[in-house]
Structure 1
Amino acid sequence: MHWLYLILAIALEVCGTTAMKFSQGFTKALPSLLLFVFYGLAFTLLTLALKKIELSVAYAMWSGLGTALIAIVGIYWFQESMTLVKFLSLVAIVAGVVGLNATSSP
């Protein structure tokens, strides 16, 4: 169940960051409100996940996969550029998360 909490926390963090972009600097009411709702839920679920998942693994997954996913959202939804360096950097982030997860205690 704790892994599900972490996955949902990552998804909600990506939703919160996307809402941040749509809020246009807090000038749009609904995305601004959703930003706080999504982040509040994300932090709640991350806290629940930390009851059983090692901090280093959970936070690496939270930040790394969140970063990679929001970069993908930026590329596909907001037409941000995709360069070779950006692609290789995303691969490195995911590889780091996998490496930390592989070396964590059972």
Structure 2
Amino acid sequence: MNAYLYLALAIVAEVIATSALKASEGFTRLGPSLLVAAGYGVAFYFLSLTLKSVPVGVAYAIWSGAGIVLIALIGWLVLKQPLDLAAMLGMALIVAGVAVIQLFSKAAAH
């Protein structure tokens, strides 16, 4: 399977786990707490598969950049948390940085 598919699965699992953190209410609710633990377990498993062929710095840049944007979107759409212009600009810069790494860095091709 493609390493970037593994990375996408890791990101989705991490976003699900992170989203469930709020619902876990400090790990006092069993269902959401189990979802957090399972989600992070799946995320790290697929991240470990990704790292067999993608450099750790590149994989982590993509993982964190995508995670930040997706969690912010979930916060905005589901939890009704506001996103101001500065937050959106900052996330756009993160995405741009990941794109620069992917498109122009020799580290990404390693």
- TM-score (norm: length of structure 1): 0.96
Q: For residues 55-81 of structure 1, what are the alpha-carbon distances to aligned partners after superposition, in whole Å with 9 as ceiling and x for unaligned?
A: 111000111111111011101110011
Q: Quick one: distance in 1 between partners of 2:60 and 2:83?
A: 26
Gaps in structure 2 of 5+ consecutive residues: none
Q: Quick one: distance in 1 between partners of 2:23 and 2:88?
A: 24
Is 1:95 matched up with 2:96?
yes
Is 1:44 matched up with 2:45?
yes
Find runs of 4+ consecutive structure 1 residues off by over 2 angstroms.
Answer: none
Aligned position for 1:79: 80
Q: Quick one: distance in 1 between partners of 2:45 and 2:86?
A: 34
Report the identity percentage.
Answer: 43
Gaps in structure 1 of 5+ consecutive residues: none
Q: Quick one: distance in 2 between partners of 1:46 and 1:90?
A: 22
Q: Quick one: distance in 1 between partners of 2:88 and 2:79?
A: 16
Q: Quick one: distance in 1 between partners of 2:55 and 2:25?
A: 35
Could you say what the CA RMSD is over the residues aligned between the two structures, in angstroms? 0.9
Task: Give the paired residue count.
Answer: 106
Amino acid at match of 1:68: V
- TM-score (norm: length of structure 2): 0.92
